[in-house]
Amino acid sequence: MSYSVMNLSKLYTENRRKFIFKIYPYTRSYDIAEELVQEAFLKAFSKFSQYNPEKGSLKGWFVKILFTSLWDHMREQKKIPYMMHIDTALEAELSSYDEEADLAALLQTIKNPMHKKVLVSKLMFGLSYKEVASTQGVKEESVRKIVERFRSSQ
């Protein structure tokens, strides 16, 4: 399948709000989240020639650029993400993640709030184990165990 910048533009147009709410729990500001999504789109647009469809989906590639922009912003601000209200933000927007509906339903069954935040960060937001560990204040190995237990229980 041939990809063009038009595919990227369509992805952005159709999913802009979803992308904003993916990073909103980290920024705690809709305006900043919106600005970061726009910045990520401009980066993706300028680097589109580097996209390789054999390595993954266009959406996944864009989300990596989006989270890189988010982490750069947070480093500049010297802020640690505030994750206390991640459940509230998720429950308000969970239905907008159509492709992750089954995962969202499974995550609703998790009772331990810390485990739920770890799983949401890793599985829905696509953060690395290291990023999840640093945002949640737990060891990277603990994140791996939580994710492995969740996957094996499915």
- Neighbouring residues of 130: CB distance < 8 A, sequence distance ≥ 6: 140
- Model pLDDT, residue 72: 84
Q: Provide mean pLDDT across the span 72-89.
A: 59
Structure tokens at 140: 């990277």
1.10.287.3510, 1.10.10.200, 1.10.10.10, 2.130.10.10: CATH of 86-152: 1.10.10.10
- Model pLDDT, residue 39: 92
Q: What is the DSSP letter of 85?
A: T
The residue with greater pLDDT, 135 or 129, is 129
Picking from 35-39, 80-84, 126-130, which range would have the lowest pLDDT averaged per residue?
80-84
- Model pLDDT, residue 103: 64
CA distances from 31 to 1, 28, 34, 150 (A): 35, 9, 5, 34
- Neighbouring residues of 3: CB distance < 8 A, sequence distance ≥ 6: 51, 53, 58
Q: Provide mean pLDDT across the span 22-49.
A: 87
Q: Provide mean pLDDT across the span 67-96.
A: 60
Q: Provide mean pLDDT across the span 96-122.
A: 69
- What residue ranges do the domains of the chain occupy? 5-77, 86-152
- Model pLDDT, residue 99: 43
Query: Model-level pTM?
Result: 0.49
Fold of 5-77: Rna Polymerase Sigma Factor; Chain: A (1.10.1740)
Q: Provide mean pLDDT across the span 18-30.
A: 84
Q: Specify the DSSP element, H or E, that contains 83.
A: none
Q: What percent of the chain has pLDDT over 70?
A: 75
